[in-house]
Structure 1
Amino acid sequence: MAAAPSKASQQLARQLFGLSLANGLVTAERVEGVLAYLEKHPPAQPLAVLEAYRRLVARELAKGELIVEHAGPIAEGILRSLEGAFTQKYKRQVTARSVHNASLIAGLRLHIGDDLYEASIAQQLSQLTVAA
């Protein structure tokens, strides 16, 4: 198991992450620039910095992807409608990706970033068993 990154590595990763943003969004060009800089000027703990930086970038990118779990078929129009609603709610471009999940029985489970929205039969049943 790898040692926890030092405070300095985490701080550098946050600074590099800040350089990866353009108008509040991560861009491929900025990330390429950060990685090129790190290649030419490696930090003291390069793996720790890169792992902390990767986590920050992945977390930010997840804020723009809506994962729509569903038990039955889902129409493309519903996905586009959800994209529009979540783009407006989060004030950033959101793209939806559908994932079949039969364990939901019926309904939807939506993940975006750290947020979870659920309206499924499985969730309602689990609440009934907890309340009983």
Structure 2
Amino acid sequence: MKISRQAQREAKQLFQACHVEGNLSNEKVRETVKLLMEKKPRDYVAVISHLHRLVKLDVQRRMVDVQSAVALSDSQQKQVKENLTKLYGNNLSYSFTENAELLGGMRVKVGSDVYDGSIRTRLTKLEESF
């Protein structure tokens, strides 16, 4: 569905209004959608659709998936969290998982950014270079 520029602009303004102290507020998003559904302004379906997309992207940007070949100790997890907080700010949601296929090292995914320091990737790149 093609969304008009006006609907995109309105959704972006509403999205920015849903932030409290720089963080997206679930309660404000709910109130905004509820108000749009009650008032039903022109092109409200497109506005809600684009607002949904913006919220989804914001949530994905805050998701951190850390995969390592072996389980990370608490101090290692804390160090990873501190480093990522410096780069991406607060309010990140972390998921630490063990993935033996990596052979060693770790792979960190923050939103659409991927930092891959695994042995498996290095071996694959080395193999491709031959």
- Taking structure 1 as the reference length, the TM-score comes to 0.80
Identity %: 25
* Structure 2 residue corresponding to 1:51, chosen from 49, 52, 56: 49
Alpha carbon RMSD of aligned pairs, Å?
2.2
Decide whether the 8 Å contact of 2:65 with 2:110 is kept in 1: yes
* Structure 2 residue corresponding to 1:103, chosen from 101, 104, 121: 101
- Structure 1: how far apart are the matches of 2:56 and 2:75? 27
**Aligned residue number for residue 117 of structure 2:** 119
- Structure 2: how far apart are the matches of 1:118 and 1:65? 16
Please, which moves more after superposition, 73-82 or 115-124?
A: 73-82
**Aligned residue number for residue 5 of structure 1:** 3
Mapping of residues 56-71 of structure 1, within 5 Å:
56-71=54-69
Decide whether the 8 Å contact of 2:103 with 2:118 is kept in 1: yes
Across the two proteins, how many residue pairs are aligned to each other?
Answer: 130
Q: Determine helix, strand or coil for the equivalent of 2:117.
A: strand
The answer to whether the aligner puts 1:81 opposite 2:79 as a matched pair is yes
Decide whether the 8 Å contact of 1:19 with 1:34 is kept in 2: no
- Structure 1: how far apart are the matches of 2:42 and 2:103? 51
Identify if the C-alpha distance between structure 1 residues 126 and 46 changes in structure 2 by more than 3 Å, giving closer, same or farther: farther
Decide whether the 8 Å contact of 2:66 with 2:94 is kept in 1: yes
Decide whether the 8 Å contact of 1:72 with 1:100 is kept in 2: yes
Gaps of 5+ in 1: none
Q: Aligned AA for 1:97?
A: S
**Aligned residue number for residue 21 of structure 1:** 19
Decide whether the 8 Å contact of 2:69 with 2:98 is kept in 1: yes
Q: Determine helix, strand or coil for the equivalent of 1:93.
A: coil
